[in-house]
Chain A
Amino acid sequence: MNTLVSSPILSMTDVTKIYRSGDSLLGASGSRVVALDRISIDINAGEIFGLVGESGSGKTTASRLIVGLESPDDGRIRFDGKDIVGLKGRAKREFTKQVQVIFQDPYQSLNAHFSIFDTVCEPLVIHGIGDRASRRVRVCEALETAELTPSEAYLNRYPHQLSGGQRQRVAIARAMVLEPRFLIADEPTSMLDASISFQIFRLLHRLRETFGVTILFITHSLAAARNLCDRVGVIYRGRLAELGTARETIMSPRHPYTKALLDAHPRFGGNNHHGFDTLLDVERPRPETDHCLFYPRCRLAVDNTCNLQAPKMKNLDAGHRVSCFLF
């Protein structure tokens, strides 16, 4: 499939999100955490886009901004070409119908007092879709889509009667029941065993093949991103470090940070503690001025360049983009 030529369904332009804490009423400002710093990503219709980063890198913040749980401090987010920041009323409901989220922890994202039927049916109730009979049909279809078969056997059960993998499938059914066009999967398998994770990946892959749903897949695992995604963006401390096809970005990374991630990946068989080519053993102090955020840890950093300004995204070959002064 050639996803590079299709038009973006979701487009983030210079999106910035800053969290403030400890601001006092009298105007004294507390600390600021820049969770996302001028992130620009276009996600094409029908692709699986992976957002890869470590904990605290801002990948979950990105997903919260996209679904409108929070608003950006700066920048634009457009879905289907229409601005979605600050949507209200009917327009907001129309939008949320098309964008659904699967959260990380299926032990917390399902209401323990709701039966599986209530859980999966709730989005239909909220959006006022269908009547009693047709809702039941759609819930059953959604459960079958999530490979919970026979669906009738699950309708009257409660989350505590299900395994972690089954719960995550219920969460997927709840997301798919509205037939969304855009699905955000926020580390959907980090709480699950390896073989169950594999099945969830396979299910997500099948959802894309069958329904053509676009998926933003948020993960810290290079291996998962490599195997599931068409394109990936690597995010470091709120800034995009590298973006390109999954194959190019992960198998032949350009950014020193992506290279360090690849070096750290446990390799089957061989002994991989050969150290890092791009990572310093002892970190440099963080510069006062704007700088490349990876500068304190980067072995390849150039003094008087990387510590004085932030790098801009540069286009390399075939849609591969990297934010580093070495290129």
Chain B
Amino acid sequence: MTTALLEVDNLSIGYRTATGIKLAVDGVSFRVERGGSLGLVGESGCGKTTIGMGLMRLLASNARIVSGQARFEGEDLTTVSEKRMRQIRWRRISMIFQAAMNALNPVHRVQDQIAEAIITHEPDLSSHAVAHRSRSLFDLVKIPESRLRDYPHQFSGGMRQRVIIAMALACNPSLIIADEPTTALDVIVQNQILGAIGTFQKEMNIGMIFISHDLAVVADVCTHIGVMHAGSMVEYGLQQEVLDCPGHPYTRMLVGSLLTLSDEPADLAGLVCPTPNGPSISGGCPVQTICPNATAACRREQADWVALSRTHRVRCQHAGEQS
């Protein structure tokens, strides 16, 4: 097996609270290949954004990486010095943020903001080279050159998100973390942005972690899917495997509650859809309170990973018992 671009092993991230460290991410492992894309799916509060911020080492001051490793291009992101991290950040790993409206500075021209991103991380470049690169980036994300001197408020939401993408690509990173990049956008614009992200990611052979609550969007852009619940990853596999034969009850529920367009409307009254916000639990399987198949064993301890295929694994005591 070739070495992956990013290999996250047993990563745990906790927040300091009045009652001690509370784990937001609990022993998560995954790998991202060069040119591959992993979708981290889960509902709000499942820890997916914390993983992204942890990998960028941009966690809030009351959060810290408790244990685990994240090997990226031969270095462990969890232990490298802050000085080294500053060199990796944006140049090797960049991020596309959620709120296109707020991620740009309203009082600077967009070309200056792109230039700033380049100069900060590559201070040796000549101003001519910086200008050249900004222009080619705008060309890449299909914003006309005439708009370079505009301010963010003159751009539509979709165009602002294109600027954010251009900024993320500014230093030729090898990994991009996209955190809900299309959540605030209309469906037609969303489709165009997803198309753009997918194209760059494949053409420039960039690895991507795509964080989203929307399974349909993840299905659209990602090669692999990791399903998160309450800080744990409960299922991981190729996109088709996870969607076509979900092995975990929680994944089945997510897939089941996904409304699709079909000739017959979904049977809203018939589908079983347990409430996924049970009380927080200590010990045992994280989905035991909402799982229709939970047994005493599930309450006792969390299951180990069960391999369903070479690429598809699931963390459930009852994996493979029923279809």
Contacts and interface: CB of A to CB of B under 8 A. Distances in A.
B259 A227 contact: yes
B292 to A, nearest CB: 14
Nearest to A273: B195
A193 B268 contact: no
Contacts of B219: 266, 268-269
Given A54-B188, A194-B254, A205-B268, A163 B277 contact: yes
Is chain A's binding surface mostly helix, strand, loop or mixed? helix
A268 B190 contact: no
Contacts of A262: 261
Interface in B247-297: 253-254, 257-263, 265-266, 268-269, 271, 273, 275-277
Interface string A250-261: 110000000011
Interface string B53-81: 00000000000000000000000000000
A105 interface: no
Interface stretch (B18-26, B147-155, B209-217): B209-217
Given A247-B263, A261-B188, A269-B240, 10 more contacts: A164-B44, A194-B43, A194-B258, A223-B260, A227-B265, A264-B187, A265-B261, A266-B217, A268-B258, A272-B191
A226 B262 CA distance: 8
Contacts of A55: 186
Given A195-B273, A272-B220, A264 B268 contact: no
Contacts of B214: 194, 266
Interface stretch (A2-10, A29-37, A180-188, A196-204): A196-204
Interface string B220-257: 10000000000000000000100110000000011001
Contacts of A227: 259, 265-266, 268
Contact of A194 (B257, B261, B263): B257
B194 interface: yes
Interface of B: 43-44, 186-188, 190-192, 194-195, 198, 213-217, 219-220, 240, 243-244, 253-254, 257-263, 265-266, 268-269, 271, 273, 275-277
Residue from A163, A250, A268, A271 whose CB has the most chain B CB atoms within 10 Å? A268
B255 to A, nearest CB: 9
A222 interface: yes
B187 A193 contact: no
B261 A223 contact: yes
A228 B263 contact: no
Interface of A: 54-55, 163-165, 193-199, 201-202, 205-206, 209, 220-224, 226-228, 246-247, 250-251, 260-269, 271-273, 276, 279
Q: Which 6 A-B pairs have the closest CB atoms?
A: A264-B191, A198-B257, A193-B43, A223-B259, A266-B216, A54-B186
A257 B272 CA distance: 35
Residue from A209, A222, A273 whose CB has the most chain B CB atoms within 10 Å? A273
Residue from B253, B254, B269, B276 whose CB has the most chain A CB atoms within 10 Å? B276
B253 to A, nearest CB: 6
Given A163-B277, A268-B258, A205 B269 contact: yes
Contact of B268 (A202, A251, A261): A202
